[in-house]
Chains A and B, each alone.
Chain A
Amino acid sequence: MNPVGVVTQVNGREIARSVPARMTLVEFLRDELGLTGTKVSCELQVCGVCTVLVDRKPVSSCAFLAVDIDGREVTTIEGVASDGKLHPIQQAFIDHFALQCGFCTPGFVMMAVALLEEVPQPTPEQVVSYLEGNICRCTGYRSILEAVLDAADRLERASP
């Protein structure tokens, strides 16, 4: 079916592909690029596990067309750590036990990345409201909240 040319950056890597018009972004990431860190669950845009950043803004990749990333940059969970070192947000999630089964974690981490870029020192209320579209079934919200707030402090201390 009519493929469309897409030139994009995924986690900083230049990618040019011909993509079926109907393919979703998460299919493209997982099946074409092998980036399986992004999960799929509800396909209704209510659970948040498939969240990735498009031009640094979070979207549900299960409902976003792959062709629509043409000319834009995509960041997935695989693009968060750098130089073999976990991002402070990831480290804070570990330190605060902000995950149990871990299935929702990529989505929560991507949301935290987007939030802290926008609001470097959020209030607890701001964190809770920003994470309204992400569900954790192991009910780890309290520790997720603590991890995000702590990550904000770590990032602030780390920035010159």
Chain B
Amino acid sequence: MDFVVATDLEEALDALGRGALPLAGGTDLMVGVNAGQRPDNVVALRRVRELRQRNGQRIGAGVTWRVIEDEGPRALAQAARTVGSPQIRNAGTLGGNVGTASPAGDGLPFLAAVDAEIELTSREGVRTLRWDEFFTGVKETARRTDELITAVVLPAALPGRQEFAKIGVRNAMVIATVACVVTRADDGTTTVALGSVAPTPIRIPEAEELAKTLSDPGSAALDEFQHLVAAGVRPITDHRSTEEYRRHGAGVLARRLLTRCLREGAA
């Protein structure tokens, strides 16, 4: 059993090369550890300053939700405010959310909506994968075990309007049964991304195409938009919700967020 407290990126990468499991804020990982799981080889990352840096469109993997709440792009900040409790947001990181790759990760729909890239670093070098190359299944990613998620890289220009919302069984401390981000650029380009309704975050291209032609927040075509979103998701029934409810919720939520984007555009 080995437990390394890395103080810089080099040490972290060395430990990963030896098979260590990364531990960032611990808000996902420590739940299992406290329940008695004892991973044999862990590398703690909180002291690694490089991971906490933000510059321009590059958000270090170790940046906490608390920081993103105040300083992140609009829809990601909106998502951050709904993650767990203040205690969770002070400890939990964006990199940990990406690393866990839960279908319900609240940070993930935003990454899908803006076509973010995930930066992976190992002793061998750095590679970046687009979100849809990175997320491969339920809690499955294309990350090799010797690779550290070092940052999330957003495109240089972000859409002017972006909205996040999620549905859950209560208002506080809730894991999403449906989460959604809609973005809209000045030229009408619209993206629609959802979480908790498929193994990975997903985009709904048919709905995006239709939305591009809309500008009136009262348009009757919003019915069709809502329908396309509901038809495009691939939810399951589990202990949090049913397939039908998630499908319905996806359409309603996407429509509501698109309407907000269009209203803002009109104002």
Decide: A57 and B90 in contact? CB cutoff 8 A.
yes
Decide: B3 and A2 in contact? CB cutoff 8 A.
yes
Q: Known contacts A58-B90, A132-B172; decide if A63 and B31 are in contact (CB<8 Å).
A: yes
Residues of A within 8 A of B172 (CB): 129, 132-133
Interface residues of B in 5-58 (CB under 8 A from A): 5, 23, 26-27, 30-31, 34-35, 42, 44, 46-47
Q: Give the shortest distance, in Å, between B48 (CB) and chain A (any CB).
A: 11
Q: Known contacts A45-B84, A133-B86; decide if A64 and B5 are in contact (CB<8 Å).
A: no
Question: Is A1 positioned at the interface, with any CB of B under 8 Å from its CB?
Answer: yes
How many Å lie between the Cα of A44 and that of B1 in the bound state? Answer: 23
Decide: A46 and B173 in contact? CB cutoff 8 A.
yes
Tell which of B31, B66, B173 touches A132, judged by Cβ atoms closer than 8 Å. B173
Q: Give the shortest distance, in Å, between B112 (CB) and chain A (any CB).
A: 27
Count chain A CB atoms within 10 A of each CB in B47, B84, B86, B90 and give the residue with the most: B86
Tell which of B5, B26, B42, B85 touches A63, judged by Cβ atoms closer than 8 Å. B26
Decide: B85 and A48 in contact? CB cutoff 8 A.
yes
Question: Is B87 positioned at the interface, with any CB of A under 8 Å from its CB?
Answer: yes
Interface size bracket, B side? 20 to 34
Q: Known contacts A44-B34, A59-B91; decide if A132 and B3 are in contact (CB<8 Å).
A: no
Question: Is A97 positioned at the interface, with any CB of B under 8 Å from its CB?
Answer: no
Question: Is B129 positioned at the interface, with any CB of A under 8 Å from its CB?
Answer: no
Q: Is the interface of A mostly helix, strand, loop or mixed?
A: mixed
Q: Give the shortest distance, in Å, between A41 (CB) and chain B (any CB).
A: 11
Decide: B66 and A65 in contact? CB cutoff 8 A.
no
Decide: A21 and B4 in contact? CB cutoff 8 A.
yes
* 24 CB-based A-B contacts, threshold 8 Å: A21-B3, A21-B44, A22-B3, A43-B35, A45-B87, A46-B85, A54-B90, A57-B66, A57-B86, A59-B87, A60-B87, A60-B88, A63-B27, A63-B30, A65-B23, A68-B5, A68-B46, A111-B86, A129-B172, A132-B86, A132-B172, A132-B173, A133-B86, A133-B173
Which B residues lie at the A interface, using CB under 8 A?
A: 1-5, 23, 26-27, 30-31, 34-35, 42, 44, 46-47, 66, 84-88, 90-91, 171-173
